[in-house]
Amino acid sequence: MKKKNIVGENIQRVRRSMNLDQDELAARLSRLGWNCSENTISKIEAGYRRIIDEEIALIARALGVQPGDLFP
C-alpha cells in the first residue's frame, strides 16, 4: 500500500523522543481543539491516513516543534 502522508514517521520519532504514547498525544491534541483518537494517531504514523496542513500544525504545536520539523 502506498503511504498517504510523508510526515507520519517523523511524528512518531518526535513523539517517542518525548516519551509520549499515542493516547497522550491524542489527549494533547484534544486540548488544542482536535478531538482525535489514539487510532487516528496510529494511522497517521503508519502512513495509512492522509493529513491536512491544519492537522500538521496542531500536531507540531502539541509536540512543541515547528511544522517543518515533521517533514523528511
Number of neighbours of residue 41 by Cβ within 10 angstroms: 24
Q: What's the pLDDT at 44?
A: 98
Residue 4 — very low, low, confident or very high, per pLDDT cuts 50/70/90?
very high
> Distance between CA 70 and CA 7 in Å, rounded?
5
Residue 1 — very low, low, confident or very high, per pLDDT cuts 50/70/90?
confident
Return the amino acid letter for 44.
I
> Distance between CA 8 and CA 49 in Å, rounded?
9
Residue 13 — very low, low, confident or very high, per pLDDT cuts 50/70/90?
very high
Residue 61 — very low, low, confident or very high, per pLDDT cuts 50/70/90?
very high
* Domain layout of the chain by residue ranges: 8-66
Secondary structure (DSSP) of 2-19: --S-SSHHHHHHHHHHTT
- Which of the following CATH numbers is that of domain 8-66: 1.10.10, 1.10.260, 3.30.70, 1.10.3470? 1.10.260
How confident is the model over 43-66, as a mean pLDDT?
A: 98
pTM: 0.94
Would you state the cell numbers that stand for residue 2, as one nine-digit string? 502506498
